[in-house]
Amino acid sequence: MRLTQDQQTEIEAQRAHRAPTARATVPALEALLFQAVPVLDHGFVRAIDYMGDDAAVVQAARVSYGRGTRKVSEDAGLIRYLMRHRHTTPFEMCEIKFHVKLPIFVARQWIRHRTANVNEYSARYSILDREFYIPAPEHLAAQSAVNRQGRGAVLEGQEAAEVLDMLRGDATRTYDHYAAMLNEGADGQPADPSRQGLARELARMNLTLNTYTQWYWKTDLHNLLHFLSLRADAHAQYEIRAYADAMLDMVRAWVPITCAAFEDYRMGAVTFSATMLAALKRMLAGEAVDQKGSGLSKREWTEMLVALGRDG
C-alpha cells in the first residue's frame, strides 16, 4: 500500500487534532484512529470515528443513567448473556465509521451487507488511480471442484505466471484506454487539445474489477459483528477476509468485552439443528447411530461430525 504525501499529511493532521469531549472514549481505539492499516497490495482500512463502548451496551440493556458502582465483571457477565441469547438491540447503540480502499470486485461483494451507510468515491466526478489488485502467488488458485464459490489447488509454474501476466496486462491496457478516452492532463486541461475527452461517467465502464475504489462505511456494532461472522470466517473469500481480519483487530481494541463474547459465542461456536441434536443425544446415550438412521442428509451428517472433530 502506498500513501501519497498529501494523504500522509492529512492523516498526521487528523491524529494531531484534539477536542475536549464529555462522551465515552476508548484509549486503545483512540490510538488507532485515522491510521491506515495495509490490506492486500494497495488497499487499507482505517477507523475514523466511533460512538459508544462496552459500557454503552450495558447501559442500553439496563436503560440506566450511568455506570454507577457496578463491577466490570458484572458488565462482562451481562454482555456475554446478551451475546449468548442473541439480544441484539443493545449492541446497536455503538457505531463506528471506517475509510476503506479496496478492489471494485471486493466492494461489490461487500455491498451485499445492506445494513450500513456507504459513500463511495465517484468515478463520475473524479479520476480513479492507476492501482490494481494483483493476487500474491499463494492466493492464485484454480476453481474448486466441489465448491462453486471456492478455490482449489494453488496454480504453479508457467500456468501461474501466464495468469498473472494476463491480470496485469488487462488492467494496464484498459486503464491506458480509460486515460486516453478521458484526455485529461494533470492540470485538468485536455492532454490532446485537438480532441474532446469522453465523459468520466462513460470512460469508467472500461475499467477492470481489480481497479481500486474507496468508500466510507459506517455501521452499528450489531451489524458489524454479523459482517465479521461471515467475512472473517475461514470459508470466506480471502480478499474480503483480509479486510475483515483487520477490522476485527480494531473491534478488539474498541469493545474488548463484547468482542471476546462474540468470538466465544459466534466465531468459535457451532449450531446444531433439532435433528442433529436428537442424533447427538442418542449417540451420547450409547446408541449406535449412522447417517441413514439419523434422519440427516449426507451433507448434514458430515457437517455434524466435522463440528464434533470426528472424521466426516
Who contacts 304 (Cβ-Cβ below 8 Å, separation ≥6)?
272, 276, 279, 280, 296
- The answer to whether 49 and 32 are in contact (CB under 8 A) is no
User: What are the phi and psi torsion angles at 173 (to 5°)?
Assistant: -65, -45
- Pick the catalytic residue: 46, 200, 204, 231? 231
Question: CB neighbours (10 Å) of residue 206?
Answer: 15
Q: Tell me the three cell numbers of residue 103.
A: 478492489
**DSSP E strand stretches across the chain:** 37-39, 43-51, 95-103, 117-120, 141-143, 151-154, 212-220
Residue 151 to residue 140: CA distance in whole angstroms: 9
Residue 256 to residue 39: CA distance in whole angstroms: 22
Phi-psi category of residue 259: left, alpha or beta, with phi > 0 → left and psi -120 to 50 → alpha: alpha
Who contacts 143 (Cβ-Cβ below 8 Å, separation ≥6)?
151, 152
Looking at the DSSP assignment, which residues form a beta bridge with residue 51?
Answer: 95
How remote is the C-alpha of 290 from its chain's centroid? Answer: 39
Looking at the DSSP assignment, which residues form a beta bridge with residue 47?
Answer: 98
Residue 200 to residue 174: CA distance in whole angstroms: 14
Looking at the DSSP assignment, which residues form a beta bridge with residue 132?
Answer: 211
Active site residue 231: yes
Residue 237 to residue 231: CA distance in whole angstroms: 8
Just list the catalytic residues.
231
